[in-house]
Structure 1
């Protein structure tokens, strides 16, 4: 860093150094002219000219050294502030101003920093209000949606002796109600993702039981669309059960969404198998329409619906984005492979030793 500060210092004063050298050269040139003019009188000795040059260079070097030692702390602080990734506290780092110009620049930086924090505070307060309103709205909407779902279930129970079209109507109402519930849940989790650390509980979890419960929740849709789910393997992993249920819901609902329009029967396989020494792999394999190769790299981007989403018209572009965020924050690795027209496989890797045990100890 000292070399960098020296280079910056010399570049900043290059013009002054060149001016001083020019003045010294001009002075020497004038002395030599005078020496030639009065050479017979020997008024100016050559040693005097050399002494003048050495003395001038000495004072120039002395001034540069003194000025460098005076300015070095300021340059170091500037370089540290530039290298830091977080620029919020740059004004607090740069405190070694020497000249009045530097003090004015530091004061301007402090004023800009203060104004930036004020604007950031206003934005955060607006965002908190928006999130609070969204959460409140979701909670209020879940009650009427639950009532509609209960009414549709009751209508289905009472429709055994009613015409087929009425039964289909009741089933459609229930399906649409489930879609609304799923959308509300996604909005709720989307609002919670920013406060992830406050809603986290890592514990040893039966992964196969979580998968089985999620499959049972989607059983009716699987039957309706001729999708035959199957669960293979057992494992206990360290994760947050609630967030993991959200992840599994996204995978299975996507598998149903992009498989239901294919003719004939389709399979949905959830396989749990060991990975390495202490790891576990969960794979979710469907026989849906698959993901086009040109969309694979972007499926985790927020609001990206892709070719399939535009075709079905049911995609929000937030499900896989939130899934990726949740898996990353839980320390699970997420991967995907797909072939258009044949199906998609998502894989979640769990590691027994690592971030999960640390988090579990801190939270207990």
Structure 2
């Protein structure tokens, strides 16, 4: 900050030094003016000017230091009070702009909350006719037609479910309820919901649950597993999906493995990015690029680590590593 102050005031400093040099030059040229007294006066002037610069540096940089340390978080209370007209102008400008930004941010936040509430209300309203449609489909006798409608109904249901969880995920910490979950019942429920899709694609399941239960949030764990299963079904054809759980290093692991088209190695690091679909099958319009992104985001507050291994044309394996029980203290304390 001292260097900045000297650069800012360099014109004044240079004018003063030029003035002192000019006085010495006049005294040196003009023999009528005694040189030594003038030199002494210039020496005293330099000392006084140096003291003046030091005092002004401390006084003027105090305000600008507070600006430099300001985190720009719309809180102007950390900025020092102005002590000069120019500092007052700056302080007024910052305060005015900050007030306007706060008002705009508040209005945008309110609009966003209203839109989110309206969308969630709409999703819940749409679920009613969807439920009625599902009951009608179940009573149909034409099995081929019934299978096609069930698949399309399931797609709509999964998209609405994904949209609903996407809106809820911003306040997931307030929605957690930790309990002991039976993996078998949870996984079987998700498989039953996806049954029509699996039948259409000729996909079966090989379930090997060495560890029967985990401690987590049932609703959000169901959502994560649902995204992994839909992802495995989407990219598989006439093959089994292996689901197994086991203990390793005092942690429970749940693996979902398919034998589908796999993931290109260059895409592995990006599959959890928002909106990313694929570089090899970029024309695939069935993928939204949101499922794995939301699953990863939901897993974070649950302290679940997601790991993926994939070989092109051989299949993909997603592994959920659950935390130890004592680590849930971090969740409860949030």
For normalisation by structure 1, the TM-score amounts to 0.84
Partner SS for 1:351: coil
Partner SS for 2:174: helix
Whether the 8 Å CA contact 1:222–1:229 is kept in 2: the answer is no
The answer to whether 1:297 aligns with 2:245 is no
The answer to whether 1:9 aligns with 2:1 is no
The answer to whether 1:139 aligns with 2:116 is no
Inter-CA distance 30–241: structure 2 relative to 1 (3 Å threshold): same
Whether the 8 Å CA contact 1:289–1:340 is kept in 2: the answer is yes
Whether the 8 Å CA contact 1:95–1:106 is kept in 2: the answer is no
Q: Which runs of 5+ in 2 are unaligned?
A: none
Query: How far 1:354 moved relative to its partner?
Result: 6.2
Structure 1 equivalent of residue 206 of structure 2: 230
Match runs of 1:17-36 below 5 Å: 17-34=13-30
Whether the 8 Å CA contact 1:73–1:96 is kept in 2: the answer is no
**Matched residues in 1 for 2:288 and 2:281: separation?**
8
The partner residue of 2:65 within 76, 90, 94 is 76
Query: How far 1:122 moved relative to its partner?
Result: 1.6
Cα-to-partner distance string for 1:90-132 (whole Å, 9 max, x where unaligned):
5332233221111111111111111111111121122112111
Structure 2 equivalent of residue 162 of structure 1: none
The answer to whether 1:241 aligns with 2:237 is no
**Matched residues in 2 for 1:49 and 1:225: separation?**
102
The partner residue of 1:120 within 89, 94, 105 is 105
The answer to whether 1:251 aligns with 2:228 is yes
Query: How far 1:9 moved relative to its partner?
Result: 2.1
The answer to whether 1:306 aligns with 2:278 is yes
Query: How far 1:188 moved relative to its partner?
Result: 0.7
Query: How far 1:57 moved relative to its partner?
Result: 1.1
Inter-CA distance 96–8: structure 2 relative to 1 (3 Å threshold): farther
**Matched residues in 2 for 1:339 and 1:330: separation?**
28
Structure 2 equivalent of residue 61 of structure 1: 50
The answer to whether 1:210 aligns with 2:186 is yes
**Matched residues in 2 for 1:75 and 1:204: separation?**
56
Structure 1 equivalent of residue 85 of structure 2: 100
Superposition CA RMSD, Å: 2.2
Aligned length: 333
Whether the 8 Å CA contact 1:303–1:317 is kept in 2: the answer is yes
